[in-house]
Structure 1
């Protein structure tokens, strides 16, 4: 079983306010990723900060886990997700601020998942979602700080990538990234 995971516990410093609940094309930014993950028909989880107004989000069937240590960086959310997925085949990581990742892309990564790390690329840039097989869980639990799994990914030779469109790398860091889309 593969566990889809949405990492959504960032502080939104560059954005200036809590971006995950900011309207993007008619719904909160995070809702786009939740809707995609929910459509996968797999038991997914969302790792989110307690600072987000959860009443604005419809988590559907996703399990919500609260990261109370966001000060430790992205690695803390990854560890929470890995502990929840212990005993499963792997995790498929999504970021809550990437609203353009659609079901077709998510299903492609899901279908390619196996013993290799899988992720899309766009013009040579690593995108999301990223599939991590369980054989890397112990190693991933050792990461620290705000860099996520980047070092783990670049150190492995058993990686499978495929070319995709810009939606696999589009994320929202600043208000200007989504201005005019409300």
Structure 2
């Protein structure tokens, strides 16, 4: 299920330039899920093309999972105003589309608290959940979910890049196992 270009399921449609669609390999067994598009993503219509995307691309390449070989999406497809986190109602509006995108994956890496909370269906404390694989059920099938920090966090916390490197290493063990 793809959201239509004229989607009006929530109020985010009012301020968007583009519906930001997934990127990468649609048949990849691994998906990286961010929380919401930023300004550059909204302009381009693609996820993770700004500074966070540069960090993600670098770490994926280092970890042997180049961007072209993974699936990248967001919990919501339209940019929230002022780069705020999406509300639960906004995430709920996009959830059928997100679940459709994630169906059949082997591993999901959530990037940031909102994405993890949306798919885990509970509130979380990131430091307690990061890099701790768990299973979620999406459309009747269990999938490994690995919560991770959002790449933007690396701009103000130097340890985040190392944590994301570990995330990619852990994800690869589940892909190869």
**Structures share fold, TM-score greater than 0.5:** no
The TM tier, using the shorter chain, reads: 0.3 to 0.5
* TM-score of the pair, normalised by structure 1: 0.33
* TM-score of the pair, normalised by structure 2: 0.34
Higher relative contact order (CA 8 A, sep 6+): 1
Q: Whose helix fraction is larger, Structure 1's or Structure 2's?
A: 2
